[in-house]
Structure 1
Amino acid sequence: MKKTSLIQKLEVSKKEFLEISKSIIQPNIISDQKKYRILLKKYMKLEKIVFLYEEYKKRLASLKEVDFILENDSDTEMKELATTEKYKILENLSSIEKESYNLLFSSKEESETEDNRKAVIVELRSGTGGDEACIFVEDVLRMYTMYFKKSGWKYKIIHAQKGGIKGYKEIILDLNGEKGVYGNLKFESGVHRVQRIPKTESQGRVHTSAITVAVLPKVKDIEVNINLSDIKKDTFRSSGSGGQHVNKTESAVRLTHIPSKITVECQEERSQHKNFEKAISVLRSRIYQNEKEKRLRKISIKRKSLVSTGDRSIKIRTYNYPKNRVTDHRIHKSIYNLEGFMNGNIQEMINLLKLFENK
Structure 2
Amino acid sequence: MIEVLRKRFERFQEIEGLIQQPDVIANTTRYSGLLKERGALIPQANLYRDYAGILKQIADNEELIKSAGGAEDELVELAREELKELQPKAEALREKAQEMLLLDDETSARSCIVEIRAGTGGDEASLFANDLFSIYSYFATRHDLKIEVMDRAESELGGIKSMVFRVDGVNASKWFRYEGGTHRVQRVPATETQGRIHTSAATVAVLPEPEDIDVKVDEKDLEVVAARSGGPGGQNVNKVASKCQILHKPSGIRVECQETKSFHQNRERAMALLRAKLYEVERMRIESERSQTRLAMIGSGDRSEKIRTYNWPQSRCTDHRCKCTITLQNALAGNIDEIITEMRKFEVAERLKEMAKQP
TM-score by length of 1: 0.67
**Matching of residue 339 in structure 1 with residue 329 in structure 2:** yes
- Aligned residue pairs total 263
Q: 1:352 aligns with which of 342, 347, 356?
A: 342
- Correspondences of 1:269-288 after superposition (within 5 Å): 269-288=260-279
TM-superposition CA deviations, 1:33-88 (whole Å, max 9, x none): xxxxxxxxxxxx9xxx9xxxxxxxxxxxxxxxxxxxxxxxxxxxxxxxxxxxxxxx
Residue 122 of structure 1 and its aligned partner are, at CA, apart by 1.2
Instruction: Quote the residue 1:266 is aligned against.
Output: 257
Identity of aligned residues (%): 39
- Correspondences of 1:1-359 after superposition (within 5 Å): 97-101=93-97, 113-117=106-110, 119-178=111-170, 180-297=171-288, 299=290, 301-303=292-294, 306-335=297-326, 337-359=327-349
CA distance in 1, matches of 2:305, 2:122: 20
| 1:255–1:263 Cα contact (<8 Å) kept | yes
| 1:95–1:355 Cα contact (<8 Å) kept | no
CA distance in 1, matches of 2:259, 2:177: 25
> What amino acid sits opposite 1:172 in the alignment?
V
Residue 108 of structure 2 aligns to a residue in which SS?
A: helix
> What amino acid sits opposite 1:150 in the alignment?
R
Residue 259 of structure 2 aligns to a residue in which SS?
A: coil
TM-superposition CA deviations, 1:245-270 (whole Å, max 9, x none): 22221010011112222111101121
| 1:123–1:215 Cα contact (<8 Å) kept | yes
> What amino acid sits opposite 2:188 in the alignment?
I
CA distance in 2, matches of 1:259, 1:98: 46
Q: Indicate how the Cα distance of structure 1 residues 306 and 112 shifts in structure 2: closer, same or farther if over 3 A, else same.
A: closer
Residue 139 of structure 1 and its aligned partner are, at CA, apart by 0.5
> What amino acid sits opposite 2:109 in the alignment?
N
Instruction: Quote the residue 2:83 is aligned against.
Output: none
Residue 242 of structure 1 and its aligned partner are, at CA, apart by 2.2
| 1:95–1:358 Cα contact (<8 Å) kept | no
CA distance in 1, matches of 2:295, 2:208: 23
CA distance in 2, matches of 1:163, 1:210: 15
Q: Which has the larger radius of gyration?
A: 2
For structure 1, which segment, 345-354 or 295-304, has the greater mean C-alpha deviation from structure 2 after superposition? Answer: 295-304
Residue 96 of structure 1 and its aligned partner are, at CA, apart by 5.4
> What amino acid sits opposite 1:266 in the alignment?
C
Residue 95 of structure 1 and its aligned partner are, at CA, apart by 8.9
| 2:155–2:161 Cα contact (<8 Å) kept | yes
Q: Indicate how the Cα distance of structure 1 residues 222 and 101 shifts in structure 2: closer, same or farther if over 3 A, else same.
A: closer
- Structure 1: gaps of 5 or more residues: 3-44, 50-92
TM-score by length of 2: 0.67
Residue 297 of structure 1 and its aligned partner are, at CA, apart by 4.2
> What amino acid sits opposite 2:207 in the alignment?
L
RMSD of the TM alignment (CA)?
2.8
TM-superposition CA deviations, 1:130-182 (whole Å, max 9, x none): 1001000111100110001111111111111011322110111121112x110
Residue 293 of structure 1 and its aligned partner are, at CA, apart by 2.4
> What amino acid sits opposite 2:340 in the alignment?
I
- Structure 2: gaps of 5 or more residues: 3-42, 48-88, 350-359
> What amino acid sits opposite 1:331 in the alignment?
C
